[in-house]
């Protein structure tokens, strides 16, 4: 096999490998973005689904509180040496 033929063969296999990896990455991205469509996110039973929705909404509410606490946006300010109410009375 000549050197140029071998170089073309190596280039061809590298292109096939890269194309296959990109296809797998694209397929993985498509499948992972459909979570909740193929596999239901919540239970089909109404009682269990309500409990799951309540837990989810409670988690989201708690996340907002934690976010404000992390950025020191909650009242009163944690930087003051004297504890004050911080709100309008």
Query: Residue-wise pLDDT tens for the chain (89 aa)?
Result: 566 666 666 677 888 889 999 999 999 888 877 766 666 778 889 999 999 999 999 988 888 888 888 887 776 666 667 766 656 65
**Burial class, 74, CB count within 10 angstroms (exposed 0-12 / middle 13-18 / buried 19+):** middle
Q: How high is the pLDDT of residue 43? A: 86
Q: What is the DSSP string of 9-68?
A: HHHHHHHHHHHHHHHHHHHHHHHHTTTTTSS-SS-SSHHHHHHHHHHHHHHHHHHHHHHH
User: How far is C-alpha 62 from the chain's CA centre?
Assistant: 18
Tokens of 58: 């409670």
CB contact at 8 A, 76 and 86: yes
Q: How high is the pLDDT of residue 77? A: 63
Q: How high is the pLDDT of residue 54? A: 92
């Amino acid at each position: 096999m000549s050197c140029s033929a071998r170089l073309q063969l190596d280039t061809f296999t590298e292109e096939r490998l890269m194309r296959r990896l990109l296809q797998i990455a694209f397929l993985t991205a498509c499948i992972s973005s459909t979570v909740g469509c193929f596999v239901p996110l919540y239970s089909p039973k109404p009682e269990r689904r309500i409990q799951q929705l309540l837990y989810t909404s409670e988690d989201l509410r708690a996340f907002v509180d934690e976010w404000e606490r992390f950025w020191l946006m909650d009242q009163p300010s944690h930087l003051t040496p004297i504890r004050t109410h911080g709100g309008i009375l």
